Structure 1
């Protein structure tokens, strides 16, 4: 499967999520506040420089992936080279990370996430961006 197919799968999943959210019987402002609250809770532990806790969450999620030998998972183990994930496996892993942390990872960024430490750097940067944009 090519990247185009993977993007189509992600697009379909996002459309499905949007469809469900559109049919939730709450107003747009309330829905956005609810989504922001879910994202804030999902990112709790990622704020305040708590990189160790975020790393633990990321590594535990990666270890649970059925195509990975959990004993090989380290902070710097390359998803493709060291853990043997193909492109579809990586898309599934990114989707699991998006669900775990209640965030959206753009395709361009997802392609650059090669190991757990890259994921943690991205999550912490997103957390810092969210906290700086929400401060008065």
Structure 2
């Protein structure tokens, strides 16, 4: 399932517990991710799911749910 895979990547890349992550978890506000964290997470997502996330779209992806929806497009 995409949601669980995304949660796993977020937990690995941002050093948090997968059990604490919800769909509405905000990467920046809730997990204190900085721009480097976001870039590294994006690269991991692109590699895992075989997608390309352009910089202009990256600005719109703020929550775990946003990531899941983007991958599902």
How high is the TM-score relative to the length of structure 1? 0.50
Output aligned runs, 1:1-136, within 5 Å.
Answer: 53-65=1-13, 67-70=14-17, 71-125=19-73
Which of 1 and 2 has greater Rg? 1
- Cα shift readout 1:79-106 (whole Å, capped 9, x = no counterpart): 0000010111111111110011111111
Runs in 1 of length 4+ with deviation above 4 angstroms? none
Q: Partners in 2 of 1:72 and 1:79 — Cα distance?
A: 12
How high is the TM-score relative to the length of structure 2? 0.88
Larger % of helix: which? 1
RMSD: 1.2
Per the TM alignment, residue 72 of structure 1 is displaced from its structure 2 partner at its CA by 3.1
Aligned residues: 72
| Higher RCO (CA-CA < 8 Å; seq separation 6+) | 2
